[in-house]
A and B are shown apart, each in its own frame.
Chain A
């Protein structure tokens, strides 16, 4: 019995955090966001050095074969550093889709390229969590028609695309009949977009026909967004406490005022149990526990609520400075805000949680 992180997992967190702190400080994220760069190749190279793209890929295909919990820990670090890199689709959902539903030939063709970071993959799954406007992709044989919104890790070479019934396909970004349109979200640290399919020929993942793998991908995506929010929210709490410890008014640091302390205690009280929830949700997905999807829904919904509360409260602790661009606190605020809406709002995730329990 050991509910917690192993020494290796703690080491992973330390390494990723330290390298991101060195190579992807907020100034780097600002450049990415303000210049609307397509890719931050230098930050991606840091992840590549750490083997992050191959985290979930087995060793035979060039990866390190680690678990979902390790992936969640990386997501947490990326949220903590508002890192401008693809991750959820490229490093988690695409490798899982191939390994769970791809043919041996597809795995042999794609996984080594994913593990080496040479190919980036986006994921078009949003419609399975509720479609906006007329969005939805229909498959006729291996030909796709329709529209996919809110595609994750949009700046990609290949996309994993779910049809309306949950079958999964690979589509190259330069495929004939495919139109791409970037969407500008409040969170400028990650790329989001729209795909239009006009009879695009696609490569089917043969193990995905019953839609179960697509549901599994969504559960993993939710756990990763929960972990990203966990890291981002922790960073905001840390900054709020540090700021309150230096800012003086009425002759004393504002951290000594109970009104400010209690805001910080409220944030810590909401966040600390959430950490264990994210760990367990990721662990449960990794071992395919019966309650894995339920925990993924709850982790997603709960972290969305806790994250929103902390994003607002930590900003308030900073007073007027929190509202400006000078401190850049809004990068975390907005990252948490986008995570909240992706792959199902908290209301949607709770609705699914109830349905999973027959309620």
Chain B
């Protein structure tokens, strides 16, 4: 056990703190895609190497070597200062790593720089109405017609499709191949004729998801990452990136601190919620679980640094982390009582309804990105070596 990071990293942390102290006031209070202030902040981060840090310089990044500890220090410091760490959409978190891994030189040149800058926004076309947990059974298909794929079908749960410039999309192009080998990874602009986006309003009250319909959408045949039929392999590399994003303990810690502040502020019968033993006990239970996940996160970080196996510790993070966040937000609502049942637009509403919004949103995250039940299958089968359910004859 050695929890020190050494002088080089402490210097990196000190530089970052200076940067945040100097420029942090420029950061937008909330990230609005395409807003001038958001884009200007992204440029500021890029020029100092706090965004796109490990992306090669020729593609608009900072060109630093990947360094797990630097990434960790950045996450911690931006979270502690409550300053936006820049854009984190699916283009940046998922597509760019994929391009660097599987893309052609021309694709990297074309897409990475504007995506990093927030000028090119991406959405992800994976899930379909009948291909959710069993994603590989997707049916949106492309048929070659001259130099173009003609794509027909439907996607669902597509975040930001109504804002996106481009989509990266899983399309069945090899109908006779086994289901995992018949999929290709296509890229096309959302302005292509034949694409219809219908917003999908969620229980939160926002239209953050969409349904996307394809009706004879023509995509150039080489607008593809990897080869024909390699889409599943390409996409699976990315799903690892996505699951790592959900349930980040640094964000949970920020929410926990906000919850403590709320319970010190709000009163019931004139006494602060934090002074009421039942509520305080629930708060401490959540803190105990949070500290366990934080310690687990440090263990995973170290396992990455020292190339040690920690499979089970990693497999449980999405399941446990999203559940914990959901319960943390629930405690705030209970502490607020009737005030916690108010919502957007109401007088007396606390914190602009963020507690209620997160409570519902995290139920969405418990389901999305691989449902809790699918996560449990993965934990049991890959982590604990238990046998798969036999296939029905």
Contacts and interface: CB of A to CB of B under 8 A. Distances in A.
Given A3-B298, A266-B376, A353 B292 contact: no
Determine the interface band of chain B, counting residues with CB < 8 A from chain A.
Answer: 35 or more
Nearest to A283: B1
Interface stretch (A16-24, A141-149, A256-264): A256-264
B360 to A, nearest CB: 23
B288 A269 contact: no
Contacts of B181: none
Contact of B386 (A1, A264, A353): A264
What secondary structure prevails in chain B residues at the interface with A? helix
Query: Looking at chain A, what size class is its interface with the partner chain?
Result: 35 or more
B386 A2 contact: no
A268 B379 contact: yes
Interface stretch (A87-95, A169-177, A272-280): A272-280
B390 A256 contact: yes
B101 interface: no
Interface string A235-262: 0000001001100000011011110011
Interface in B333-387: 373, 375-377, 379-381, 383-387
Interface string B278-298: 001101110111011101101
B299 A261 contact: no
Contacts of B320: 269-270, 273
B69 to A, nearest CB: 6
Contact of A268 (B280, B285, B312): B312
B392 interface: no
B292 A265 contact: no
Contact of B295 (A244, A277, A305): A277
A334 interface: no
Contact of B288 (A2, A244, A298): A298
Interface in B244-268: 260
Interface string B313-335: 10010011000000000000000
A261 B295 contact: no
A255 B386 contact: yes
A60 interface: no
Contact of A253 (B285, B293, B387): B387
Nearest to A306: B292
A320 interface: no
A241 B285 CA distance: 28
Contact of B376 (A262, A295, A354): A262
12 contacts: A1-B301, A2-B305, A4-B1, A4-B308, A256-B389, A258-B376, A268-B379, A275-B299, A276-B299, A277-B291, A279-B1, A351-B284
Interface of B: 1-6, 9, 69, 260, 274, 277, 280-281, 283-285, 287-289, 291-293, 295-296, 298-299, 301-303, 305-306, 308, 312-313, 316, 319-320, 373, 375-377, 379-381, 383-390
Please list the 8 inter-chain residue pairs (A to B) with the smallest Cβ-Cβ separation, ordered nearest first: A276-B295, A350-B284, A265-B376, A261-B380, A273-B296, A302-B288, A277-B292, A265-B379
